[in-house]
């Protein structure tokens, strides 16, 4: 599932359509009234967590790539089922295997921007407060909770736990607040670094633990069991990451 920085990178590439009118809008889902988008001008393209938001004067299209979704900008159309296709004078923006929603309410009423780790309104202290209310939950689950860390996915979760030297199976109420704050700060910091690496497609070279076999700190074999409520493969070092 693409994480926040990957979707932010997509939004950067899609900026060429801001200010352009939709010539044609199509999808396989007949329940979406996409005709209302035709003739409308894109006012902004931005992100919230793992969602791409394409805004118009009175409506916003939310696109979530889910586990296997993908997009094409002016690319050759595949055989996949089109979830959203927007045609402009200067090209096309198409999404496949994705979740598409139309939002009529003001976005400020729909989204809490203080939980988006890549938003200027991101509030790490609020994230710590929310984690403290989760009690028995594992820290790896808390970091994947999109109501606390919107945009953080499995890769970012593994990396920031490694950087903070916290074992993913730590009980959240046992993890010191200082460490929780470190993780919250790192969630935003690492996400922006990830975005920078994504721009030149070198992000995999910068991962310290995800997809790795040996810990770069102490040479211990990396473990990668499935863990937490979501049963996600979790890369970690059993030696240098402390279990609380």
CATH code for position 146:
1.10.8.50
Report pLDDT for 137: 94
* pLDDT tens readout for residues 87-119: 999 999 999 999 999 999 999 999 999 999 999
CB under 8 Å, gap of 24 or more: what pairs does 171-175 form?
A: 171/136, 171/137, 171/138, 171/139, 171/244, 172/131, 172/132, 172/134, 172/135, 172/136, 172/137, 172/138, 172/139, 172/142, 173/132, 173/134, 173/135, 173/136, 174/244, 175/139, 175/244
Domain boundary (62, 88, 110) is at 110
CATH label of the domain that carries residue 20: 3.20.190.10
Clarify whether residues 127 and 102 are in a common domain: no
- B/e letters for 153-191, b = 16+ CB within 10 Å, e = fewer, are bbbbbbbbbbbbebbbbbebeebeeebbbbbbbbbbebb
Clarify whether residues 101 and 36 are in a common domain: yes
Give percent above pLDDT 70 in the chain. 100
Q: Is 26 left (phi over 0), alpha (psi -120 to 50) or beta?
A: beta
Clarify whether residues 216 and 167 are in a common domain: yes
User: Tokens in use for 77?
Assistant: 């159309």
* pLDDT tens readout for residues 20-63: 999 999 998 778 899 999 999 999 999 999 999 999 999 999 99
Per DSSP, the chain holds a count of helices (H) and strands (E) of: 7, 10
User: Tokens in use for 129?
Assistant: 């407060």
Clarify whether residues 123 and 197 are in a common domain: yes
Domain that holds residue 123: 118-233
Domain boundary (62, 77, 110) is at 110
Q: Do 38 and 114 touch, CB atoms closer than 8 A?
A: no
Q: Do 4 and 50 touch, CB atoms closer than 8 A?
A: yes
Domain boundary (110, 132, 161) is at 110
* pLDDT tens readout for residues 120-172: 999 999 999 999 999 889 999 999 999 999 999 999 999 999 999 999 999 99
Q: Do 167 and 242 touch, CB atoms closer than 8 A?
A: yes
- In a domain, residue 238? The reply is no
């Amino acid at each position: 599932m693409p994480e926040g920085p990957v979707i932010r990178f997509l939004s950067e590439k899609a900026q060429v359509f801001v200010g352009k009118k939709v010539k044609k809008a199509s999808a396989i889902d007949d329940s979406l009234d996409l005709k209302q988008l035709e003739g409308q001008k894109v006012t902004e393209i931005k992100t919230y967590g793992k969602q791409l938001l394409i805004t118009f004067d009175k409506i916003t299209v939310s696109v979530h790539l889910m586990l296997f979704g993908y997009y094409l900008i002016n690319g050759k159309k595949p055989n996949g089922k089109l979830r959203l296709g927007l045609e402009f004078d200067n090209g096309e923006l198409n999404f496949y295997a994705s979740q598409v929603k139309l939002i009529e309410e003001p976005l400020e009423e729909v989204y809490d921007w203080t939980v988006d780790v890549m938003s200027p309104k991101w509030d790490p202290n609020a994230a710590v407060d929310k984690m403290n209310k989760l009690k028995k939950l594992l820290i790896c689950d808390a970091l994947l909770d999109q109501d606390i860390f919107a945009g953080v996915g499995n890769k970012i979760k593994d990396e920031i736990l490694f950087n903070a030297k916290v074992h993913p199976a730590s009980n959240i109420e046992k993890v010191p607040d200082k460490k929780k704050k470190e993780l919250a700060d790192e969630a935003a910091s690492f996400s922006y670094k990830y975005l920078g690496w994504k721009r030149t497609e070198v992000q995999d070279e910068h991962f310290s633990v995800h997809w790795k076999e040996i810990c770069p700190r102490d040479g211990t074999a990396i473990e990668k069991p499935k863990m937490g409520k979501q049963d996600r493969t979790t890369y970690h070092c059993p030696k240098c990451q402390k279990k609380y």
